[in-house]
Structures are given as C-alpha cells and as structure tokens.
Amino acid sequence: MTLSAEELAARIGGAVEGDGSTTVSAVAGLEEAREGDLSFCKDPKYAKAVALTKASAILLPDTWSAPFPCRAAIRVASPDEACMAAAALFAPPAPVRAPGIHPTASIGENVSIGRDVHIGAYTVIESGAAIGDGCVVEAQVYIGENCRLGECCHIYPQVTLREGSVLGKRVILHCGVRIGGDGYGYTHEVRPDGSISISKIPQLGIVEICDDVEIGSNTTIDRARLGRTRIGACTKIDNLVQVAHNVQIGSCSGLIAQSGVAGSAHIGNGVLVWAQAGISGHIHVNDRAQIGPQAGVPQDVPSGAYVIGTPAGSLRDVAAIALAPKAISKLRAEIREIKKKLG
Amino acid sequence: MTLSAEELAARIGGAVEGDGSTTVSAVAGLEEAREGDLSFCKDPKYAKAVALTKASAILLPDTWSAPFPCRAAIRVASPDEACMAAAALFAPPAPVRAPGIHPTASIGENVSIGRDVHIGAYTVIESGAAIGDGCVVEAQVYIGENCRLGECCHIYPQVTLREGSVLGKRVILHCGVRIGGDGYGYTHEVRPDGSISISKIPQLGIVEICDDVEIGSNTTIDRARLGRTRIGACTKIDNLVQVAHNVQIGSCSGLIAQSGVAGSAHIGNGVLVWAQAGISGHIHVNDRAQIGPQAGVPQDVPSGAYVIGTPAGSLRDVAAIALAPKAISKLRAEIREIKKKLG
Amino acid sequence: MTLSAEELAARIGGAVEGDGSTTVSAVAGLEEAREGDLSFCKDPKYAKAVALTKASAILLPDTWSAPFPCRAAIRVASPDEACMAAAALFAPPAPVRAPGIHPTASIGENVSIGRDVHIGAYTVIESGAAIGDGCVVEAQVYIGENCRLGECCHIYPQVTLREGSVLGKRVILHCGVRIGGDGYGYTHEVRPDGSISISKIPQLGIVEICDDVEIGSNTTIDRARLGRTRIGACTKIDNLVQVAHNVQIGSCSGLIAQSGVAGSAHIGNGVLVWAQAGISGHIHVNDRAQIGPQAGVPQDVPSGAYVIGTPAGSLRDVAAIALAPKAISKLRAEIREIKKKLG
C-alpha cells in the first residue's frame, strides 16, 4: 500500500509538516531507509542519524527540534506506537488460510480432522493422525502416523513430524522444522579381529511439544530413545537449533538461533540460551539461568546464574582470562624493577 | 498401548510388588516421569531420585531395598534390559512402508526401480535415477537425475538429492537432509576501475555416500568441485552438520550435531567430532582422533589425539589458559612478598 | 562418461605417456583418487603424493621429471586448466529445465509468470506472486503470496519463500533455504501474581534479496519486524547460516557455513564472515572487515579489520591469551631466581 503523509496522518494520527503529498509504502530504520520509506525517531540522541536518513517521511515526537532532511514529517505523541501502526498498514496482507482440505492433500486412514481446519496442497497426513479444531496445516507438510495436534496449531510449509509426535494447542512450527527424527545413538563393539561394529540403538520414544510453543525455521528436535523429548509450554525456539533425544525443556524458556542441547539434558523454566551456545548431555540448567552466546556448558548451572565462555563460567572468570595478558605485563614490569634494585 | 503392572510383568518377566492393577503406557526417566509412566533404576546411588519420582510404576533390581513412592514396582534381574523391552511394547508402532509406488509419485524417464521398493506420495525422481532393491523412499522426497541408491536405503520425507549423487547400501537419510548442493566457491577479481567481480566456480563433482551411513535431519553435504565429496562406510552424522565440497571422511567416524567440516578436509577412520566443532579446510584429522565440543581445528590432528579449544590444542594447553588467572594471583602474591623483603 | 587417456588427450590436448588405452571416468585429488580416476599435479613439491596416488591416469606438466605410479600420464602446459576441462567432460550432465509449467504445479490466482519460465512438479505458487522471465523454479518449491522474483532466478527443490519476499535478478537459492520466516521477537510481562506472560511481536516486514545473491542449503533468513531484512547484490551465503530479522547486509559480502547474524545488525560491503562465527544484534561490521571462524563479535568492527576469538579482538589480543601460560612460566622462573638470590 502506498499512502501520502497526509493520508497516513489521517489514519494513525499526528500533524503533518512539510510536503503532505509525499508518498511512502514501507517503514524502515533511519539508516536503511530509502526513497519511498517512512522512518521514525523518538530520541534527540539520534539527531545525527535523522540528519543522514534517506527516508521520504519521518515520524517525530511533538517535542523534536533538530533538523531533518525528509520531505515530510508527522509529529506524534509516541513515534514507536505510530510506527507500529504504520507498519501494520504497509505490511503484506496476512495470507488467508480458510478452512478446507486442498484436493491434493493425501490423507491416510483413520485420520481425525477437527472443525475449521485448513490443509494445504500436497500435504501428506498419515494414518491415525488427529488434527485439532482450527489448525492451519499449510502446503507440502508431512505429518506421520498417529501424530496429534491440539487446537489452533499453525504448521508452515515443508515441516515434517515423524510418527507419534504430540503437539499441544497453538503450537507454531515454521518452515523446515523437523520433529521426531531418530536420536543419535549407537553401540560400538570391538570384534575379536579388532574391527569395529556399530549398531543403531532403536529410538522408541516420541516428541511432546506443549501449548504455545513456537519453533523457528529448520530447527530439529529428535524423538526420545525411550519416553519423550519434551518442550514445555510457552517456550520459544529460534532457527537452526538442535534439541537432541530425551532433552527436557521447561516452560517459558528461550533457545536462540543455532544453539544446541545434547541428549538427556534438563533445561528449567524461564531459562535463556543465547545464540550458538551448547549444552552438554545429561546436565541440568536450572530455572531462570542464562547461557551466554557461544558458551559451552559442561556441567549443571544453578538457578538464575549467568554463564559464558567455553567451558562456561562466570563473567568474572571469563574476564580474568581476558585480562591475563595485561596482568602479566604488569608483573613483568614489577620483576624488572626488582631485578634493577637487586643489580 | 496401556498395560497393568501385572500384564507388563507377564510379558517382560519380573515380580510385581504393590498394586498390580496400576496401569502404565510409556517409559520415562525418574525425573521426568509422570502419572501413567513406568520408570526404572538399577543403582542404589539414585535412591534419592527414586524417592522423588512421579512414575506410577518402576522397574527395580531384585536387590533394591530403599523406599519408592510408586504404586507398583516390578523386580527384575536387569532394569536396563527390562526397560528396553517395556519401551519396545509402548513405542508407537513402526510405520509400515509396503512395497509399491504411490500413484502421485512423479517418476522421470529411464528410472530403474528395484524389487520391493516403496515410493511415497508426491516424491519426484528425475530421469536416469536407479533405486536399489528394498529401498524405502518416503513422501515428498526429491531425487535428481542419475542418482543411484544401493539396496535397502531409507530416505525419510523431504530429503533432496541433487543430480548424480551415489548412495551405497542401507544408507539412512533423515528428514531435510540436503545431498549434493553446490559447494561455496567463487573467484574474486578486482576490475581496473577498482570494483570487484565475483564469479561462481562450477561445482562439477558429486557426493558419494558409502554403505551403512546414517545422516541426521537438516544436515547438508555439498557436491565436490571436482571428483567426489565422500562419506565412508558406517560413518554416522547427526543433525544440522555441514560437510563442504570435496571433504573426504573415512569409515566408522562420527560427526555430532552442528559440527562443520570445511572444503577438502580429510577426516580419517573412527574419528569423533563433537557437537559444534569446526574443522578447517584442507587439513587432515587422522584415525581415531577426537575433536572436543566447540573446538576449532586449524591444523592437522595426529591419530588418536584428543584436542579441544579454539584454536584446538591438548587438554593440557586449554587447562593452562583456564588456570592462568590463578597462576597470576600466586605470582602477584610472591612479588608482593619479595617487595616487602626488599623494603 | 568413460574415456581412454588417448581420447581424453585428443579432447583436452596434451601428450600421452604410458598405456594410452587406460580408461578414466572421474577426476580426483592425488590422495583420494582410485582405480578409474584421473588425478593431476602441477608442482614438484607434491612428488611424494604423486608417488602414492592410486589414480589410473594423471595430468602432469611438461617439465615433470619425478616418477609416477599411474598407468598413463598426459603431459600438459597447465594441469589446473586441463583438469577443469576434464572435469567438465566427466561431470554429470547438467539437468535440463526446459520452459514450461509442470501439470502438477499449483498456481494461485493472479500469479504473473514471465517468458521461458520452468516450474517443477508439486511446486506451489500462491496468489499474487510474480515470476520473472527465464526463472527456474524446481520441484516441490513453495512461493508465498505476492512474492516477486526477478529475471533468471534459480530456485532449487524444497525452498520456501514466505509471503511478500522480493528477489532480484539471477538469485540462486539452494535446497531447503527458508526465506521470510517470522523473526524471533516476544514481549515478556510479569503479571501481578508473579507469573510470566509471553506475547509474540508481529513480524510485519519482508525479506529483500538483491541481484546475483546465492544462498546455500538450509540457510534461514527471517522477515523484518518492520521494513526489510536485506541482502545486498552479489553477496554469497553458504549452508546453514542464520540471518535474523532486520539484518542489513551490503554487497559482495560472504557468510560462510553455520555463521549467524543477530537481529538488526549491519554488515557492510565486501565483508567476510567465516564459518561458525556469530555477530551480535544491532552492531555494525564495516566494509571489508573479516570475522574469523567461530569468532563471537559483541561490538562494532571497523572497516578492513580482522577480528577473531570470543569476545572477538585482534589477532594480537588472542595470541596474547594463548601465550599467557608460557609467559607465566617464565615469570615464575624469574621469581624463583630472585628468591634464590635473596636467600
């Protein structure tokens, strides 16, 4: 949608300054904005960035006094709120996924499908699966035998759920998510002749994902060897995250992009694992702990602790190592001084 | 399947204690078990965890004497073995993939399909491909031109094999595996006017995967620039692993989740690369070496060595750095002492 | 294709030595070559590897004098060039993607399709999308509502583009690429009773990918919260890379496998981010900077700088830490000496 500054102000409120016929069709930050964009700034400390922006129009607080190079400004009480309102206007219209089963969807025997369910083109649902009321299962999804989806789940294209996976209500799985793959488990045996025999350990469990969990693109969550790999309610997982077999994650936790959790680890409630961090197998990361970016955690983490580094320790531990070269230089100088004294 | 403790004992052996009518329908660890679960413990050192479990029933060794809060126990000679037997009973039934080609499968010209092959819905097999006897190619798979699959491979949904990929016998590829994508290769040229021109280097080789290899969800293995990227027999690769063009991996090696191997690196036989570790291009990691979690390996690793850290070194090297702050404190104290003496 | 050494020499030039009837069907490096392979060497410093190669035939420079174990050699002016020419002969024939829309493709309303476009089997293109002239959209691709593809893009199987994504000309997306997934954004609110409420922040923006960008298998690029996540012209991204919402990447930059860029970070032009490195949110990595493998970058990086380590610093900083144990040993010895003197 393209709107003039005047039309925009009429919709989101605010007073136009400059050329009210200036048209905009997208929202962008000060630095990346270009011709045709609307930008925004609430704080005079960014006056420099405002002075350099290429946006055609800008949302500014009523109190703004510094110059701005845009052809139009809209004065508003809260640029943040006005910006969100404008972004909602310019956003690509949300696709409509009306209830109905696409004629090309391949539905197995004894599949139970609730009311107001959307199933997209070329989606495959194997026998015995149950899809709750109001679910949206987009195109090209694979749902294995006996999977169960609670109400109002949203499964984006090209997700796979292996057999027996269980999803609660309002679970969102983004494109390419893999639920229920076999965990990595083998036995190694050295034969009498010295050669090695590697056998696959059957992965007999399932994955259970609780209500209001959201999982990002291409993340993988393996089925349990026994019992269940479990993601607790309201936990949010980013893209390209690995959750190994038998991991137990509590509620309201967050796993940021490319982090990984090894087999049978326990992650508590309200835990935050930052990007690219790794959690070893069989350990406990307790409630409200935070694992810093790229940290490697070899052992239990107490409730509320913040750890970083590999192997992960306190910020103080990591800082001590980072400061070691400086400390060494100082000691070296002192020793030189002592030697001089000693002659 | 739901079974009473008595029914279960009748199937897997053992003596029931407590309420034999207690029903269970899944196996779970002591800590994560809940109402309706069967748990297990073999070692008295976990007596505390047993005392806290919420399992309805538990497998315990004949010799167990500590208290347990479950409504029923089954005394067995080996809780580990009994647990596996019970898990097999409770496991979701393994999906049947009967021989046959789904009518929606799109099969190109001159495709050779062996005996007893299953090909699932919406799978695409391009011209010239050959699928060995007993292969299971599940739904929504893509198999490019002239790919060859040996006997009894299992290709899970939504795997892609680009043209010319070669698989041995009994290869297992989990959902979202990408075989044969172009390697990352470009030439940079600075033009007379100072601008940069970037050209793609043709990636003319293939990927060759030997017998009994298993590859986890969303792992990517690039085709060679020339010749072949090769994964040796019986090597097991976990989820979200990157194997770049022209990498050569020997047999019986393991690459754990989110690890990566850069172009033209050689990994020997029986090597273990732990999670999130990275191997630089063009180096040799020799037989039976182990690369610790998150290690970054810039140079050759000798046979049987264990390296950790970035840049990767011996455990001793890494420990020395970790202990540097302590060593510095000690030196500081000694210098203070000396200064005091010197006045 | 299988060729005798003589046939090969006739095609790529060069003088045959040894048994000209020796047949080869693939190119391989000295070390990995086997029966039936053609290998190559240009530099006498690799004479040892040549002596050990199992290749059937080898390309050698006219001036080569060391022994070689292959049944045939072809003497050429430039083994590198000859090798590329031979590899092109042996390469699996490039699949033909003739213009045309596969009858199983599911095309929504008001989709605009240019001239000479190929659309593969089971591909879904939602309403309002526009596919430029000469595009190849392979099988099983998903293209969401109102996406726009410029001329001559190549979209490999099983890519997903969420609604509103915009691609320039000649963009290449490899299998499993995910464009336009929701960014990771939530608000946390502590309710009066102490419980936590987590709400999803609407992700209202799009992804914009400029001309000549290539993106590797299973890489994920999230849509902006507002405005656009943007990948500049000619930037090349490897496999399994994460690009979070609102990231801005300039032109001619490179992101190697498994690296990640957090939300709203700015990456300049000609920047190189090595494998498994991580860039924090909201920072600027300026033109021509290089981020070393596995580096973790918490703050701005100046133009042309090279940083490594976590937290990332100069090579000098990292070396100082690595050398700390040695420096400490030396200081310890000096103190011992001083103490001896002091008695």
Chain B: give the shortest CA distance to residue A122, in Å.
Answer: 7
Asked if B229 and B246 count as a contact pair (C-beta separation under 8 A), the reply is: yes
Q: What is the pLDDT of residue B197?
A: 86
In this predicted structure, the answer to whether residue A1 has a pLDDT above a threshold of 80 is yes
Cα–Cα distances in Å, from B262 out to A116, B283, B285, C210, C222? 48, 9, 12, 27, 25
B88/A202 touch (CB, cutoff 8 Å), yes or no: yes
- Would you place residue A161 in the very low, low, confident or very high pLDDT band (cuts 50, 70, 90)? very high
Q: What is the pLDDT of residue B194?
A: 80
Write down which chains contact chain B via at least 3 CB pairs under 8 A: A, C
Tokens for B141, please give them.
Answer: 């798979």
| Distance, CA of B145 to CA of B119 (rounded, Å) | 16
Average pLDDT of A292-316? 96
Bridge partners of C77, per DSSP, are: none
Average pLDDT of C123-149? 98
| Distance, CA of A221 to CA of A261 (rounded, Å) | 10
Tokens for C302, please give them.
Answer: 């100046």
Cα–Cα distances in Å, from A147 out to A228, B95, B229? 13, 12, 36
In this predicted structure, the answer to whether residue C93 has a pLDDT above a threshold of 90 is no
In our burial notation (b when 16+ CB lie closer than 10 A, e otherwise), range A202-222 reads ebbbbbbbbbbbbbbbbbbbb
| Distance, CA of B85 to CA of B72 (rounded, Å) | 18
Catalytic residues of B: 245
| Closest Cβ–Cβ partner in C227, C260, C280 for A27 | C227
Residues of A in Cβ contact (< 8 Å) with B92:
145-146, 163-164, 206
| Distance, CA of A86 to CA of B206 (rounded, Å) | 50
C140/B162 touch (CB, cutoff 8 Å), yes or no: no
- Would you place residue C189 in the very low, low, confident or very high pLDDT band (cuts 50, 70, 90)? confident
Average pLDDT of C191-195? 84
Q: What is the pLDDT of residue C70?
A: 97
Cα–Cα distances in Å, from B170 out to A183, B131, B158, C125? 18, 12, 18, 36
A218/B218 touch (CB, cutoff 8 Å), yes or no: yes
Q: What is the pLDDT of residue B124?
A: 98
Long-range contacts at A18-26 (CB < 8 A, ≥ 24 apart): A18/A57, A18/A70, A18/A71, A18/A72, A18/A73, A19/A71, A19/A72, A20/A72, A22/A56, A22/A57, A22/A70, A22/A71, A22/A72, A23/A56, A24/A55, A24/A56, A24/A57, A24/A90, A25/A1, A25/A90, A26/A90, A26/C205, A26/C227, A26/C228
Residues of B in Cβ contact (< 8 Å) with A160:
156-158, 175-176
Residues of A in Cβ contact (< 8 Å) with B217:
178, 181, 220, 222
| Closest Cβ–Cβ partner in C146, C184, C222 for A256 | C184
Name residue C162's amino acid: R
C239/B227 touch (CB, cutoff 8 Å), yes or no: no
Residues of A in Cβ contact (< 8 Å) with B31:
248, 266
ipTM: 0.95
Asked if C257 and C216 count as a contact pair (C-beta separation under 8 A), the reply is: yes
In order, the DSSP letters of B117-166 are -EE-TT-EE-TT-EE-TT-EE-TT-EE-TT-EE-TT-EE-TT-EE-TT-E
Instruction: Please give the residue of chain A at the shortest CA–CA distance from C316.
Output: A325
Average pLDDT of C23-47? 94
Question: Which of B217, B231, B307, B330 has the highest number of chain A CBs within 10 A, making it the mutation to test binding with A?
Answer: B217
Residue numbers of chain B with a pLDDT score lower than 50: none
Instruction: Please give the residue of chain C at the shortest CA–CA distance from A330.
Output: C331
Chain C: give the shortest CA distance to residue A167, in Å.
Answer: 19
Chain C: give the shortest CA distance to residue B128, in Å.
Answer: 11
Asked if A55 and A30 count as a contact pair (C-beta separation under 8 A), the reply is: yes
Name residue A252's amino acid: C
Average pLDDT of C278-291? 97
Average pLDDT of C306-316? 94
Greatest Cα pair distance in chain A: 94
Q: What is the pLDDT of residue C195?
A: 80
Bridge partners of B319, per DSSP, are: none
Cα–Cα distances in Å, from A104 out to A101, A122, A136? 8, 5, 16
Residue A63, judged by CB atoms within 10 A of its CB (0-12, 13-18, 19+), counts as: exposed
In this predicted structure, the answer to whether residue A343 has a pLDDT above a threshold of 80 is no
Asked if B75 and B5 count as a contact pair (C-beta separation under 8 A), the reply is: no
Residue A31, judged by CB atoms within 10 A of its CB (0-12, 13-18, 19+), counts as: middle
B29/A262 touch (CB, cutoff 8 Å), yes or no: no
C204/A90 touch (CB, cutoff 8 Å), yes or no: yes
Helix (H) or strand (E) holding A6: helix A5-12
| Closest Cβ–Cβ partner in C29, C175, C275 for B181 | C175
Average pLDDT of A287-294? 97
C227/A91 touch (CB, cutoff 8 Å), yes or no: no
Bridge partners of C172, per DSSP, are: C154, C214
Exactly one of C118, C154, C245, C266 is catalytic; name it. Answer: C245
Cis ω for the linkage preceding B99 (within 30 of 0):
no
HSE-up (13 A, CA, CB side) for residue A84: 6
Residues of A in Cβ contact (< 8 Å) with B90:
204
In this predicted structure, the answer to whether residue C343 has a pLDDT above a threshold of 80 is no
Q: What is the pLDDT of residue B92?
A: 82
| Distance, CA of B60 to CA of B69 (rounded, Å) | 12
Chain B: give the shortest CA distance to residue A214, in Å.
Answer: 18
In this predicted structure, the answer to whether residue A191 has a pLDDT above a threshold of 90 is no
Taking all residues of chain C, what is their mean pLDDT, rounded to a whole number?
A: 95
Q: What is the pLDDT of residue B236?
A: 98
pTM exceeds 0.90 for this model: yes
Write down which chains contact chain A via at least 3 CB pairs under 8 A: B, C
Average pLDDT of A213-223? 98
Residues of B in Cβ contact (< 8 Å) with A142:
138-140, 157-158, 175
Tokens for C202, please give them.
Answer: 């609407």
Closest CA to A291 of A281, A282, A302: A302
- Give me the domains of chain A, ranges plus CATH numbers: 3-90 (3.40.1390.10), 100-316 (2.160.10.10)
Residues of A in Cβ contact (< 8 Å) with B142:
none
Only one residue has tokens 């930052």, namely A274
Active site residue A118: no
- Would you place residue C194 in the very low, low, confident or very high pLDDT band (cuts 50, 70, 90)? confident
Asked if A243 and A227 count as a contact pair (C-beta separation under 8 A), the reply is: no
Chain A: give the shortest CA distance to residue B197, in Å.
Answer: 24
